[in-house]
Amino acid sequence: MAYNFQEIDKKWQNYWAQNETFKAHNDSDKPKYYVLDMFPYPSGAGLHVGHPLGYIASDIYTRYKRNKGFNVLHPMGYDAFGLPAEQYAIQTGQHPAVTTEANVIRYKEQLDRIGFSFDWSRQVKTCDPSYYKWTQWAFTQMFEHYYDTAKDKALPIEEMKSAFAGGGSAAVQAWGSKELNFSAQEWQAFDKKKKEEILQNYRIAYLDEVPVNWCPALGTVLANDEVKDGLSERGGHPVEQKVMKQWCLRVSAYSQRLLDRLESLDWSESMKEVQRNWIGRSEGAQVEFAVKDKDFGFEIFTTRPDTMYGVTFMVLAPESEYVEKVVTASQKAAVDQYLEECKKKSQRDRMMETKSMTGVFTGAYCVHPFSGKEIPIWIGDYVLGGYGTGAIMAVPAHDSRDHAFAKTFDLPIIPVIEGEGAQNVAEASYDAKEGKLINSDILNGLEVKEAITRMLEEVEAKNLGTRKVNYRLRDAIFSRQRYWGEPFPVYYVDDEPHMLSVDKLPLELPEVDKYLPTEDGDPPLGRAKKWQTEEGHPFELSTMPGFAGSSAYFLRYMDPNNNDELVSKEANAYWKNVDLYVGGPEHGTGHLIYSRFWNKFLYDLGVICEDEPFKKMVNQGMIQGRSNFVYRLKSDQKTFVSATLAADKKKYDTQEIHVDVNIVQNDILDIEAFKKWRPEFADASFILEKEGDSEVYKCGWAIEKMSKSKYNVVNPDTIANKYGADTLRLYEMFLGPLEQSKPWNTNGIEGVYRFLIKFWNLFHEGEELSLSDEKATPEELKVLHTCLKKVQEDMDNFSFNTTVAAFMIAANDLAKLKCNKREVLSDLVVALSPFAPHTAEELWQKLGATESVSQAAWPVAEEKYLVESNFNYPVSFNGKMRFLLELPVDYSKEQIQEAVLGHENSQKWLEGKEIKKGIIVPKKIVNIVVG
RNA sequence: GCCGCAGUGGUGAAAUUGGUAGACACGCUAGACUUAGGAUCUAGUGCCUUUGGCGUGGGGGUUCAAGUCCCUCCUGCGGCACCA
């Protein structure tokens, strides 16, 4: 019987759908396992072969876990709000919901063609009101809570109010935007507006005037991670700095918890490192410097208190509130001019001139808290307003930025550390945290580390400041001036924000006539009719950003149809959190931070039982495209020169043009297909080159990102139709390690296709099914169990490429042995079923089974079939000597000694020594203790 | 600049974590069966000056033993980047 994958694929995909084979139940005696893929944004371009890489891996693991006896939750959904659908809507006038739905249908078809075992009954779409009800609800809860730093969790804002009323600001330790100080009496005397202003300083969701990345072309603000090199990540439009009133989430309050729990996660070290960098914890001191002849001072943050005596000037950020307070009359004009210049500079300009320093002298001086010396106060835009206190003490001898500033403005440089490479601080700063302190009074002679501790003690003893931890992680700006996103569940009374209660949710996205800002510059929701409460209070006009809907979707899958709660206590207690999360590493600083934050917040509320959403994560690499080019003569637009000839630039002056990779085979152009590809190429002529005996047109190639415009997109459906879904799945895994990025290349696909045919043929003799019930021979069992053992080991390490190799070896060996024993083949079919489920189901049925292979028990590898015997060579020597041996496990000590002594290699190492004992550890290696 | 990851045949890659380097596959070569082969099968395939020698980016080290550990340099990828 021929291997007819077309028929088999269709048959089993229908079977799975009709029988709901992969439906997960919330009540089961089996242990649970939750495998999650990062859900896709359903773009108009459809899936290419790169997208399913992670889905295939997670599906393999899911099926494996099912066979191992787990109740596996493996859902899929769509991150359906987003910019591309809205941009398309602006161009065409079509409602984004319509195009999104069409894309979702296409995605589902493509996913089904690959044979994934998703539980589709749990599908979620972030743009469904029944889904975003809970996104909105979580937001209202963030508004109603503050972060208590003493209890280290989010608490209701009502508790804060009563604490303020009882004991003023001192009664609560809370994470706020600013430090506020007021007494209980003052609090009680504040009017409603003032009170709300204070609460906004602590609410986890709060309104604030913040400098934002404004993208005029998109008409919206963007998060820092949506901006790359001053251009928007989507579309590449310029982005400028602007101060706007925006909703923000106090993500920074969770910095330490996000950092601490990272340790316990089974994520790749590089992904953890990305998050550590992003959170950017730094320990140091906050020290007050008094301003000369004034009754105030300002605080600076430093991680190098040891260099205190090396301070030769102070620098304030242009945004610092102290600029105005300290500037002298004579310098006022110069300072004002400088501040003007800074305002004009966009974020991008500031980055462009990284090396050159700008600044201006304020005319004022600080008094050094230890030496009492006068220190000039400067303003410089290399100091950031948003980090630390917006002011620094500059130590040009030991900080390269301060050094550059000192050189630019000719300020003194005093070395305070002696160390290797620290000889010439006039030329270059010595930044290393190594060496002995000099010129530093009380610190002289101490090592840097000691000096840091000593100075911290001094600072605290003299009441000049405190130890302080700063984080780089900023609060998330949560407003987008766009249409296609979750509406905020917020209305305003006298400009003061109020939250809709849960019974009023979801607040559904209204219809608008156009998806563009209003004439007054309001976001598109400003066009909606009656966008207000029943009482006539206006709703918020912004919508939420992309990461809102993706921050808690994994919880919704547990209980997708619950209309009363995000997730029921029971469902959450059963599924807990995601055991395995598979997705691209590019979400390290976005989605993966936000969803961890969001999850921790819900945990603080007691809504869920685990504070980390994703226990283990695997980051699949990107599959790049392999583009092909043709070379058109500039002088004659109809003539194309073959690649090797076109390389001769003197002879041919050509232009490189992307050509559809689907009409190119092994870099050789299908000329007839090319003529049909585009009307303008219909009468093209070609200058060919010799390849063997024939003349061909060779194309050039390059590895690039897979994209429509480069004509290098390969669709998974095309491959599935040509070779079958199982070949596609096996091949994507066989391509190399999962986590590595690699170009797509169909060259090796024949190899795995041949393997499947070979495997199929083990069950068949010609056209007939041929299976034997005889007992398997030891040789056959060895082949089987070697394979099972390897598969078992590799499965747990996500080393799927080597697993595929193990199956190939087994198939080759069994083919050579002409083995068609049921005993051997049935185990092999189960082991192969996660990789090639369609083929496995078909063969499983042929073996006489009546239920899906996904119900079968995972075959256990038994070591007893694997023992071998042949002698090797000594492997280690340190009192004990170890020999790599392959001996029968039941060998006695005497037999081992005999084997060891009998070998020529051992003579060399054992000369003059006596063997005291020998044991087999664990099965291959003999430990010999000699003396 | 700082941090992280990697560098192995013509190609994608393996290597039990210190133990026979190159599994498996592609490609290539030869042969078989064929009217035919872009089908299938069999054998071979790291390199060289081939009774031997050399080989995991370069150099050095530890070890009986190094792709694997240590030092150093080179190259590539990813992240952060005036974060004090």
Query: pLDDT tens digit string along A453-483?
Result: 999 999 999 999 999 899 989 899 999 999 9
- Interatomic CA distance for residues A643 and A645, integer angstroms: 5
A710-756 per-position pLDDT tens digit: 888 888 998 999 999 999 999 999 999 998 888 888 888 999 999 99
Give the residue carrying structure tokens 């003999």.
A926
Question: Phi and psi at residue A469, in whole multiples of 5°?
Answer: -110, 130
**Looking at the predicted structure, is the pLDDT value of residue A223 above 80?**
no
Asked if A390 and A301 touch (Cβ cutoff 8 Å), the reply is no
How far, in Å, is the CA of A618 from the C1' of nucleotide B57? 29
Residue type at position A375: I
What is the DSSP secondary structure assignment for residue A698, as one 8-state letter? B
Residue type at position A597: F
How far, in Å, is the CA of A809 from the C1' of nucleotide B46? 22
User: What pLDDT was estimated at residue A560?
Assistant: 96
Beta partners for residue A248, in sequence order: A206, A477
- Interatomic CA distance for residues A301 and A601, integer angstroms: 29
Q: Which nucleotides of B are covered by protein (CB under 7 A)?
A: 3-5, 12-16, 18-20, 23-27, 39-42, 63-65, 77-84
Q: Give the contacts of A239 (CB within 8 A, at least 6 positions apart).
A: A213, A214, A215, A222, A227, A230, A231, A232, A346, A347, A348
Longest dimension (CA), chain A: 104
Percentage of chain A modeled with pLDDT above 90: 57
User: What pLDDT was estimated at residue A919?
Assistant: 35
User: What pLDDT was estimated at residue A876?
Assistant: 35
Tell me the HSE value of A116 on the side-chain side, using a 13 A CA sphere.
26
Band (A627; pLDDT cuts 50, 70, 90) = confident
- Interatomic CA distance for residues A222 and A199, integer angstroms: 26
A282: nt with nearest C1' to CA: B83
How far, in Å, is the CA of A273 from the C1' of nucleotide B25? 35
How far, in Å, is the CA of A273 from the C1' of nucleotide B16? 29
- Would you state the structure tokens that stand for residue A501, as one six-digit string? 């209660």
Band (A162; pLDDT cuts 50, 70, 90) = very high
Choice between A712 and A354, residue whose per-residue pLDDT is larger: A712
Beta strands in A802-879 (DSSP E): 870-878
User: What pLDDT was estimated at residue A872?
Assistant: 40
- Interatomic CA distance for residues A431 and A420, integer angstroms: 11
pLDDT mean across residues, chain A = 87
Residue type at position A506: P
Band (A235; pLDDT cuts 50, 70, 90) = confident
Average pLDDT over residues A177-198: 93
Helix (H) or strand (E) segment spanning residue A355: none
What is the DSSP secondary structure assignment for residue A622, as one 8-state letter? P
How far, in Å, is the CA of A317 from the C1' of nucleotide B82? 12
Question: In this structure, is the dihedral angle defined by the CA atoms of residues A673, A676, A680 and A686, taken in order, positive or negative?
Answer: positive
Residue type at position A350: R
- Interatomic CA distance for residues A395 and A403, integer angstroms: 7
Closest by CA to A74, choosing from A64, A84, A82, A83, is A64
**Looking at the predicted structure, is the pLDDT value of residue A338 above 70?**
yes
A394: nt with nearest C1' to CA: B84
Band (A906; pLDDT cuts 50, 70, 90) = low
Beta strands in A782-866 (DSSP E): none
- Interatomic CA distance for residues A122 and A562, integer angstroms: 11
A355: nt with nearest C1' to CA: B82
How far, in Å, is the CA of A736 from the C1' of nucleotide B57? 21
Which residue gives the smallest C-alpha to C1' distance to B12? A735
A924: nt with nearest C1' to CA: B16
Query: Cβ-count burial of A492 within 10 angstroms (0-12 exposed, 13-18 middle, 19+ buried)?
Result: middle
